[in-house]
Structure 1
Amino acid sequence: MSTVRHVTIDLLRELGMTTVFGNPGSTELPMFRDFPDDFRYVMGLQESVVLGMADGFAQGTGRAAIVNLHSSAGVGHALGNLFTAFKNQTPLVVTAGQQARSILPYEPFLFAERASEFPRPFVKWSCEPARAEDVPAAIHRAWLVAMEPPCGPTFVSIPIDDWDRSCEPFAARKVHADRAGDPAALAACATSMAQARRPAIVVGAGVARDGAWDRVIALAERHQAAVWVAPMSARCSFPEDHPLFAGFLTAGREAIVATLSSHDFVLALGGPMNLYHVEGHGPHMPEGCDVWLIGDNHIHAAWAPAGTAIVAQCDRALDALLAGPEPVQRDAPPVRQRLPRLDGAALTDAYVLQRLAALRSPESIVVEEAPSSRGPMHEHLPILRKDTFYTTASGGLGHGLPAAVGMAMARPDDKVIALLGDGSAMYAIQGLHAAAQHGLPVSFLILKNNRYEALHHFGRHFGMQQLVGTQFPELDFCKLAEGHGIVARRAEDAASLDEALRWSLAADVPTLVEAVVL
């Protein structure tokens, strides 16, 4: 009879999870005895980096990735990026070791107490199988739940002595989830949109996840609808050089109402539209505005403060909307005006992003975690092609750097640019090691302003004149990169910036540019 390990390896192969991301400890090692040659093991030097790489890899491939962590200690280290994967709706199967079943009653060293509860609420499903022979079935169920919209991470705790136990063969099942939406509700939405005077569309990350980029363009052009990006959207869902592109919604109640006040119909697609970062007051949407929300996440539909919600995948819902009634005649909305170009007399984050936009290929992939530079990025670094922008949906730091590494592994023919703040980079700087070890030509661009700028911004919001512990001018990212095996250059003015960016973007090895900005 086969062992749990053999049956599980066969299952992982069948499910396409042959790249394993991990940082194993003693309780995980038996999983890797006689590790098969057609599998790839990607070691991370810290568990949060492991989760971030797997997240980037899963988003890049569109398939669930498998992560192997070390008992409670490793899961604890990874929780920040597990939270981000949950908010990103990234399909992951996270496994963690557990001490041998025979000594669990004695609270052994490095065991996990209530292991299946520990990662909640940031996993869709979690368990520790009651029997060793149930491990393959648990992993299969974890994969099914992770891949079912809305996608997300799942968790399985596996005792160390389960892997060598006898196990019957296990046959994987196919599960089809119909997310086409309610036909009558979609028809009503299409009719309302066709009759509106000034319709608007708000796109979220679900548009990109559902491959609906071209359909949204077609719907916007059919209705001459202005297109806004939902607050904190983690993906690119509409070309930012399109005449109907209107801009980005701010994550505040009053700001959203003011921005959408001229519209009598708003369709939010693929994510929450009323996502707030600061306290607000008053209505959630303009008075008299007909609001509809369509996305695959029933949780978003439940907590949305306004509008009629339809749970459906964006691509299928858009097919129904495109087949709706002919719209009334209406003028095109005004074209968005961009800010004047900067001359580079001062090396600001806005100027760095302007030059990156000029020098990079539009097909290159930007994985961003520079939250205090998000506004300048929206103005000076337009995203023009589908599936070329990724950022954290959770707001937690430490995701961007390792996610860029995973993205580069998933899409080796594309140039990946990791756009990072200096504070964000320090949350996961160890991820540089994996990029060097695997020879991934990621361009790491660090916007170094010597402080946690986001905290200074909120300090001003709260009327605080001083913030403790938020300055770090002594950090040297070139030396940090070289210590991890990556070549680096520093840019301190416009000339050295252009030289460094051209060098990095053309390189076929991992590189880092430290841009010292005001």
Structure 2
Amino acid sequence: MPSEHPHLPTVREAVLDLLRGFHIDTIFGNPGSTELPLFLDFPSDFRYILGLQESVVVGMADGYAQATHNAAFVNLHSAAGVGHAMGNIFTAHKNRTPMVITAGQQARSILPFDPFLFSGQATELPKPYVKWSVEPARAEDVPLAIARAYYIAMQQPRGPVLVSIPADDWDKPCEPLKARTVSTETRPEPRVQQAIGDALDAARRPVFVVGAAVDRDRAWDEVVALAERHNAAVWIAPMSGRYGFPQDHRLFAGVLPAMREKIVALLGRHDLVFALGAAAFTYHVEGFGPHVPPGAQLVQLIEDPGTAAWTPEGTSAVGSIRLGVLDLLARPAPPPRALPQPRPARPRVEPTGPLMSVPYVMQTLAEVRDAASIVVEEAPSSRAAMHAYLPIVQSETFYTMCSGGLGYGMPAAVGVALAKPDKKVIGLLGDGSAMYSIQALWSAAQLKLPITFIILKNRRYAALQEFAPTFGFHAGDKLEGTDLPDLDFLALARGQGCEAVRVSDPALLHQALRDALASPRAILVEVDVA
């Protein structure tokens, strides 16, 4: 429908021009009736990425935004659609993923009558897991709201935002709006950086704990250089959604568990703990005692002032990880210190029974994949084996969720593959995790993305069974709701247009993975594991 004011664009035209200014040409969505007006005369320079459920939509957008370093644009359906998406909105919040979510709303003229499919508290529904949410007071305010949402989403710490838009707003006339340049980074305060640098120089045995923000902020190389300058051992922070240090490096020490006492024990030989782009620390279970080893000093560089505020002790600098590390590298070189003890080499794993162990699968995948390929993982019970036998050695080649919520990995692999068409993407998933967002296979097949999905099929929610002793369960106790018999992933994949193979014999695993990684189309490999 043309504008009633020929000299003014419609809200739809103004928003699309604004998105072009933000270098956004992709819309992720699952449309309902209140969203249809956005797509009238859909422009040829945009693409619409359809997900078959709103959680899949947000998961795809999350992977895409992380891989492009730009906010993703998402279109959801009013209250029910936002409700479906909330699990992955929570994950985007924890992942610090910039995302502009628009949600449909019924026409303004009938909102006083509680119409069908309206959202009664549209701005409250996604809270507290969006940075900002708004339903503009007037149609002509929609472009301004989306612009503000974009700038807020991109400012550190990044995250999702939501704009609720009544269906009849899109055809209203409005003033055009140009994208502006708005700073998205802050430099840490020099006085605090000076204190951290002095503490680093004075330490005898420093250790770095590197979190997801290092890779998010493209500070991988700088952190490697800083660790080498100080000969500091480097651990990956607990529950990191990205890795910020090469796991084949001589200074790499391992991945910390999310348990206070174990963290303190593992860091016990060090007199300075430097949390870089990481919380200090993320815990999964109740713990007791100190947060850092007795006699050790804690310093932190973090992009999130909220995280700095709850850090239990020590000195925290807030700002860009990359800029902060560059400032530390600009200081004079410290006195030389001895290298830390190297990490013990892992022995090779050999198959020992009719079914493969997860370490054997990880070891095999490490042998056949290109180190530059990208692993998008959601296999919680297999993480220890992955840390031991599937090293991540390059920046931006590993993604998982920081939230602990399932349903992210499979659609995120689709989003990463869309953003990086020149890279091989590997979706590494547990069978329980895969079922949260199995519809993502359809999107991968329709988009002709050469993703290799590897399903580690152990027929159970293994992470829960392994975690049960923490809450008083004993060997042999029945744990309700954790067995997953009779899932056929080959049928599920083929029913959505995706190729699929099953591997049960360890002697066939090498070749099966090689063939799958060479496939030009999306393919699922179901691997029976013990």
Q: TM-score, normalised by structure 1?
A: 0.99
Q: Check conservation: 1:64, 1:92, Cα contact below 8 A.
A: yes
Tell me, which stretches of 5 or more residues in structure 2 are unaligned? 1-7
Q: Which of the residues 486, 489, 493 maps onto 2:505?
A: 493
Count of residues paired in the alignment: 518
Q: Which residue of 2 aligns with 1:155?
A: 162
Letter matched to residue 359 of structure 1: V
Matches within 5 A, 1:147-296: 147-296=154-303
Q: Deviations over 1:414-473 (max 9, x none)?
A: 000000000000000000000000000000000000000011012122222211121112
Q: Which residue of 2 aligns with 1:476?
A: 488
Q: Check conservation: 1:187, 1:320, Cα contact below 8 A.
A: no
Letter matched to residue 58 of structure 1: A
Paired with 1:259 and 1:169, the residues of 2 have a C-alpha distance of 57
Letter matched to residue 237 of structure 2: A
Paired with 1:177 and 1:157, the residues of 2 have a C-alpha distance of 24
Question: Offset of 1:273 from its aligned partner?
Answer: 2.8
Matches within 5 A, 1:451-462: 451-462=460-471
Q: Deviations over 1:277-310 (max 9, x none)?
A: 0010011111121111101111110111122111
Q: Check conservation: 1:422, 1:446, Cα contact below 8 A.
A: yes
Q: Deviations over 1:315-346 (max 9, x none)?
A: 11111111224323321000001321111223
Aligned pair 1:516/2:516, yes or no? no
Q: Deviations over 1:78-115 (max 9, x none)?
A: 00000001100010000000001111111110000110
Q: What SS does structure 2 have at the residue aligned with 1:16?
A: coil
Question: Offset of 1:492 from its aligned partner?
Answer: 0.7
Paired with 2:466 and 2:15, the residues of 1 have a C-alpha distance of 49
Paired with 1:273 and 1:514, the residues of 2 have a C-alpha distance of 37
Q: Percent identity between the aligned chains?
A: 58
Matches within 5 A, 1:93-112: 93-112=100-119
Q: What SS does structure 1 have at the residue aligned with 2:187?
A: coil
Paired with 2:207 and 2:358, the residues of 1 have a C-alpha distance of 31
Q: Which of the residues 30, 35, 45 maps onto 1:28?
A: 35
Structure 1, 20-29 or 9-18: larger mean CA deviation: 9-18
Question: Offset of 1:368 from its aligned partner?
Answer: 0.3
Paired with 2:293 and 2:331, the residues of 1 have a C-alpha distance of 25
Q: Which of the residues 34, 40, 45 maps onto 2:47?
A: 40
Judged with a 3 Å threshold, the aligned counterparts in structure 2 of structure 1 residues 81 and 228 are, in CA distance, closer, same or farther, namely same
Matches within 5 A, 1:359-374: 359-374=368-383
Letter matched to residue 505 of structure 1: L
Paired with 1:6 and 1:184, the residues of 2 have a C-alpha distance of 47
Q: Which of the residues 421, 429, 434 maps onto 1:412?
A: 421
Q: Check conservation: 1:194, 1:325, Cα contact below 8 A.
A: no
Q: What SS does structure 2 have at the residue aligned with 1:341?
A: coil
Q: What SS does structure 2 have at the residue aligned with 1:243?
A: coil
Q: Which residue of 2 aligns with 1:58?
A: 65
Question: Offset of 1:184 from its aligned partner?
Answer: 1.5
Paired with 1:190 and 1:309, the residues of 2 have a C-alpha distance of 12
Question: Offset of 1:185 from its aligned partner?
Answer: 1.2
Q: Which residue of 2 aligns with 1:446?
A: 455
Paired with 2:487 and 2:206, the residues of 1 have a C-alpha distance of 49
Q: Deviations over 1:458-512 (max 9, x none)?
A: 2122222211121112001111111111111111121222221111111111011
Aligned pair 1:391/2:400, yes or no? yes
Aligned pair 1:71/2:71, yes or no? no
Paired with 1:36 and 1:178, the residues of 2 have a C-alpha distance of 33
Q: Which of the residues 373, 379, 385 maps onto 1:376?
A: 385
Structure 1, 182-191 or 446-455: larger mean CA deviation: 182-191
Q: Which of the residues 506, 514, 517 maps onto 1:505?
A: 517
Paired with 1:399 and 1:372, the residues of 2 have a C-alpha distance of 16
Q: Check conservation: 1:451, 1:472, Cα contact below 8 A.
A: yes
Paired with 1:113 and 1:496, the residues of 2 have a C-alpha distance of 56
Paired with 1:256 and 1:325, the residues of 2 have a C-alpha distance of 31
Letter matched to residue 402 of structure 1: P
Paired with 1:470 and 1:218, the residues of 2 have a C-alpha distance of 45
Q: Which residue of 2 aligns with 1:316?
A: 323
Q: What SS does structure 2 have at the residue aligned with 1:151?
A: coil
Structure 1, 461-470 or 50-59: larger mean CA deviation: 461-470
Q: What SS does structure 1 have at the residue aligned with 2:375?
A: strand
Paired with 1:37 and 1:11, the residues of 2 have a C-alpha distance of 16
Paired with 1:164 and 1:336, the residues of 2 have a C-alpha distance of 62
Tell me, which stretches of 5 or more residues in structure 1 are unaligned? none
